[in-house]
Structure 1
Amino acid sequence: MLAGRWILPAFIAAIAASLTAAVGATITDLGPWYQGLNQPSWAPPNWLFGPAWTVLFLLCTISGTTAWLAARTRSGGDAIIGMFALNGFLNLMWSFLFFRWHRPDLAAIEIGLLWASIAALIVVTWRVSRTASLLLVPYLAWVSFAAMLNRAIVTLN
């Protein structure tokens, strides 16, 4: 019966993560503008971003499902879902600012909000499921790295 309890939450979380990833992919444009940016020598190759984000969205899906099911009350579960939704919005907003508006300077500011939303998710999910919380640590690490990369791009351009 435990497996049946996971089906709907996991399905909903997977759809939400997939939609966020798909929208983010359509916003991301590695065309002439991006190719013309000066990048730091330590910037990863472009091909790495797709697989990295795939793994991170998978971890977020598992984390969100785990935390949602572990929430002690319905309102607690709703709050966790709301926080994941806000995080998804901030994730997309960064892509929009950087790749569509061509404003790495604004994206460098916005990524602080994204980072804070991940840190808040880690704290909140820790209260209901340490597993859910720990699954978000690679996401925080990646966004920390992305923030440094974003800042370096602003400085170099």
Structure 2
Amino acid sequence: MRRFAFLAPLALAMGLAAPAAAQPTVNVTIGGDLVEQVETLGQRDVDLQLERLRSVVARELDRRGALDGAQINLVITDLKPNRPTFQQAVDRPGLSIIDSISIGGATIEGEVITADGQRLPVRFSRYSPTLADVQGFTTWQDAERAYSRLAVNLASGRLVTR
């Protein structure tokens, strides 16, 4: 939420401020190779990652007041966990959810449709380069980093990278 948003109607009534712009709409879906991996990763985990990306991007754009009135359509095309997901642990009982680590991250594509109708492509990818670079202890640590960096890039106007 924007700070002091509750004062906007009062400021408008007094003629002190222009109406606030509409907040951006963020839509997230899956595509690419990830469609075929949903069963392996687990539908629950994939759904949580879709919502997580949506909320991280929406929060950062709101925090910075960026892309007001825009529609952001993102597609997670690849998603790699740092640790086994619940479904992977169920499918392979000998797999240790504590000791097993891997290079994780995410690839995200899509577009931003600005308030004036411009369509701008979005491409972002972030993975740990080696196992030595894997930091953190959560299943989706590197994917979370990808979401955060993408959100900062979107808020800063850097839409197409890597």
Task: Identify whether the pair has TM-score above 0.5, normalized to the shorter chain.
Answer: no
Q: Which structure dedicates a bigger proportion of its chain to strand?
A: 2
Higher relative contact order structure (alpha carbons within 8 Å, sequence separation ≥ 6): 1
Structure 2 length normalisation: TM-score? 0.31
**Greater C-alpha Rg:** 2
Structure 1 length normalisation: TM-score? 0.32
